[in-house]
Structure 1
Amino acid sequence: MSTPSNRPIHGIIVPLASPLTAADRLDESALEKLVDHVIAGGVDGLFLLGTCGEGVSLSHRLQRQLVERVCRQAAGRVAVLVCVTDVSSAESGALAQFAADAGADFAVAAPPFYLPLSQQELADYAVKLAARCPLPLVLYNMPDLTKVPIEPATVRRLMDQPRIVGIKDSSGDLAYFEHLCRLSRQRTDWSLLMGPEHLLADAIALGAQGGVAGGANLFPRLFVDICNAARSRDPRLARLVELASRLNDVYGDETSSAATVIKGLKAGLAALGIGNGLPAEPLAPLPAADQARVESTVRRLAQELR
């Protein structure tokens, strides 16, 4: 899409699931169906290879296959963001270059997640990655999985880097997010995106530009409506948020692990006729009883949203 670099990323960005037919085999038909489904639902962007997309569990070959296919299909319709998180800076840079060549608009990077970094090391890493990255870079704060939070002071320092254009926060810490909102006023091109979808409406009210909502894989229009209602203070917001909260039955609950959320999300997509529910190895699919629960929840909600 060639999104102008001086315009913040905004609205609902769907962290696209990665449909598989088998271990390390992309389900191209399901992927095409999913991309059309979420774009038809009004989302503003696609986030590839993030947590919901199981990026760290996919081979480099499969990562690139998915990026290439989605960029080709989505070209000119919505922004495409590609997560390049890796324990190797060189691999992150190589994937960012591939994504740029394929037509992506932004690269997204969380801290390398094996060895713990100091805030100085984290800042140096981000500056160097932004310098070698051919795409504008979005930071990704997800301390539960990386062990390293991007502290507000570090965010403030990195805002001085023009090639770093925003941050997605998946910490679930609303006080931290509010601090970031205050910082973000210093740059008109800075994007602040909320990760946990149950905090989306609060984040928009605080000044966020948008959210990266996993549930938008299933019901994109619902999350677009929540985002718009939060911005306009539409009285329907409470009802929309209540409907979205029913997806907790798909994920387990708001405190479920990322692995449980991924399994539920893929089972939910299967209930909509998109893919077969298979997560990337080493995760196993949901047990049959849980799949039945997810299918029932998704179908009931789909009927109510018609």
Structure 2
Amino acid sequence: MKKAVLPKPLRGIIPPIITPLLDSNTLDVKSLEKLLEHILSGGVHGVFILGTTGELSSLSYRLRHEFVEHTCELVAGRVPVLVGITDTALAESIQLAQTAEKCGAAAVVAAAPYYFSLSQAELIRYYQQLADQSPLPLFLYNMPSHTKISLEPKSVKILTQHPNIIGIKDSSGNGVNFQLLQYQLKDNPDFSLLVGPEELTAEVVLLGAHGGINGGANMFPKLYVDLYEAALARDLDRLLPLHQRVMQISTNLYTVGSSQASYLQGVKCALSLMGICQNVLAEPLQPLPEKEQTIVRQYLQELNVMLPTNAAV
């Protein structure tokens, strides 16, 4: 399969794509193709599968491997594909990394194992073992809200010394820690610093970070690419209204309902209303109730999104 060249550092907008499903254990390949073409048409710089937005922890191992195969085949080397290999078992992470390498992915991404709470020393050793055995370059993934472990900046600095660890996706939402990380790694220009929360993307890129792995780019890829390019150019007149639109998406679409998974529910509901995929989440998560789907529809209309009349939710 075709494989895209992985720039060092990796820059730009790399959407963490949803996993289109027909049911909890069946990949919707037609919707996956539609989603990828929609995202790539917006000029994104890569795609990231099997992350939090992709419901990694709820998917069977068979489905994860199948998802990697289909995504790499459909992307066909047009942009780098990053594959999430987070797991509680090192062997499972390595097996998925091997599938990713075989299928033509460019790199893998791993958050901390999320059952036992590890010390920083244990976490460093874990990542070093993972990087030693991975056939692809490894991005660290700091996601303390889901893993119960925060990857501290001083630990990241130690891990940058490993030749197979090439970047980090920081989804902590801790802007101070991210700026500390940027400062500590100012002499390591090839190490990619990517932020998860899209509310911070404009700020961190202005300050020298390399881009964002932003969930809203599933729906509005060009908006996030424009945001990144304006921040990179330090064009504040262009950047500020784009950032306001990103904040409008974040505060409206991601907060409907009372579930702690409201972000993911909102993204999938919006994509279904846009006619891109079905509104199916992997168990145990459930889609938004019908009343709340109506609220999402209203928010999309306020954002001037053209919705197909036959879009099913």
Q: Which bin holds the TM-score, normalised by the shorter protein?
A: over 0.9
Q: Structure 1 residue 294 and structure 2 residue 300: aligned?
A: no
Letter aligned with residue 276 of structure 2: I
Q: What whole-Å deviation, never above 9, does each CA across 1:219-256 have from its counterpart, x for those lacking one?
A: 00000001111111221211111111221211107xx8
**Structure 1: which 5+ residue stretches go unaligned?**
none
Letter aligned with residue 127 of structure 1: Q
Give the 5 Å matches for 1:239-254. Answer: 239-247=241-249, 248-252=251-255
Partner of 1:285: 287
- How big is the alpha-carbon RMSD for the aligned residues of Structure 1 and Structure 2? 1.5
3-state SS of 1:29 partner: helix
Give the 5 Å matches for 1:55-94. Answer: 55-94=56-95
* Contact residue 51 and residue 258 of structure 1 kept, 8 A: no
Give the 5 Å matches for 1:105-124. Answer: 105-124=106-125
Partner of 2:275: 273
Give the 5 Å matches for 1:155-170. Answer: 155-170=156-171
3-state SS of 2:135 partner: coil
Query: Aligned partners of 1:156, 1:121: CA distance in 2, in Å?
Result: 15
Q: Structure 1 residue 263 and structure 2 residue 284: aligned?
A: no
Q: Check 1:120–1:81 CA distance in 2 against 1; reply closer, same or farther (3 A cut).
A: same
* Contact residue 254 and residue 263 of structure 2 kept, 8 A: yes
Partner of 2:192: 191
Deviation at 1:5, TM superposition (A): 5.3
Give the 5 Å matches for 1:100-179. Answer: 100-179=101-180
Deviation at 1:258, TM superposition (A): 5.5
Deviation at 1:216, TM superposition (A): 0.2
3-state SS of 1:189 partner: coil
3-state SS of 2:261 partner: helix
Letter aligned with residue 44 of structure 2: V
Partner of 1:203: 204
3-state SS of 1:160 partner: coil
Q: Which stretch shows the higher mean deviation, 290-299 or 88-97? A: 290-299
Partner of 1:236: 238
User: Number of matched residues?
Assistant: 302
Q: Which stretch shows the higher mean deviation, 239-248 or 55-64? A: 239-248
Query: Aligned partners of 1:23, 1:9: CA distance in 2, in Å?
Result: 32
Query: Aligned partners of 1:91, 1:180: CA distance in 2, in Å?
Result: 29
Q: What whole-Å deviation, never above 9, does each CA across 1:177-212 have from its counterpart, x for those lacking one?
A: 001111222223200001000111011012110000
Deviation at 1:86, TM superposition (A): 0.1
Query: Aligned partners of 1:267, 1:4: CA distance in 2, in Å?
Result: 33
3-state SS of 2:190 partner: coil
**Structure 2: which 5+ residue stretches go unaligned?**
307-313
Taking structure 1 as the reference length, the TM-score comes to 0.95
Query: Aligned partners of 1:246, 1:122: CA distance in 2, in Å?
Result: 36
State, as a whole percentage, how many aligned pairs show the same letter.
Answer: 46
Q: What whole-Å deviation, never above 9, does each CA across 1:48-93 have from its counterpart, x for those lacking one?
A: 0000000111001111111111101112211100010000001001
Query: Aligned partners of 2:95, 2:188: CA distance in 1, in Å?
Result: 28
Query: Aligned partners of 2:259, 2:169: CA distance in 1, in Å?
Result: 19
Letter aligned with residue 92 of structure 2: E
* Contact residue 46 and residue 81 of structure 1 kept, 8 A: yes
Query: Aligned partners of 2:129, 2:142: CA distance in 1, in Å?
Result: 17
3-state SS of 2:303 partner: helix
Taking structure 2 as the reference length, the TM-score comes to 0.93
